[in-house]
Amino acid sequence: MLKSMMVSSLALLLALPAQSEEIRSVHIWHEAGTAPVSIDVVLKSAPQIIAFDLSEIRRLEDATSQAIMAKVEPTDDPDEYKRRAIAAGQAYFATGGMNQFKAQMDNYLIAANAALKYRIPKVPAILINERYLVTGEHTLSFAIAKFEQEVGQ
């Protein structure tokens, strides 16, 4: 009798329609140049959308190098050129460049730490409500459609 009631209860639970789940948060990891994600939908629930562009670190390194090297006077002496490059780098970081570099580096580290926390295997990746992960898709609307299909909305 008890076994019959348990089977009936389980069948009843399986027959119930899935509960809808509101989107509360969206995290996006992408690379703007090679694996971009388009935020092509406006969500009714207006969740916080956080997008991490992992290509920013390369742009940061390139911009910093260009800013420093633009200040280095050319010379034929390799030792003198090295000394001038070091001096230009020190001057760049002493005049506020360090604050900008540090702020952008902090943003990149936040993105990298979040990717580790949520075990993001590749980009593009879209994480909804900190538990539904969609990888390989380039539009938020498609990731949301997959999410809604999964949770039965």
For residue 54, the domain's CATH number is: 3.40.30
**How many domains are contained in the chain?**
1
pLDDT tens, residue order, the chain (153 aa): 433 333 333 332 333 334 568 888 899 999 888 888 988 888 777 778 888 888 888 888 888 889 889 989 888 999 999 999 999 988 888 887 778 888 888 888 888 898 899 899 998 999 999 889 999 989 999 999 998 888 875
Contact 129, 144 (CB under 8 A): no
- Structural domain contains residue 37: yes
DSSP tally for the chain: helices H, then strands E = 5, 4
- Structural domain contains residue 58: yes
Contact 52, 75 (CB under 8 A): no
Domain membership of residue 44 as a residue range: 23-151
Question: How many CB atoms neighbour CB 98 within 10 A?
Answer: 13
- Structural domain contains residue 104: yes
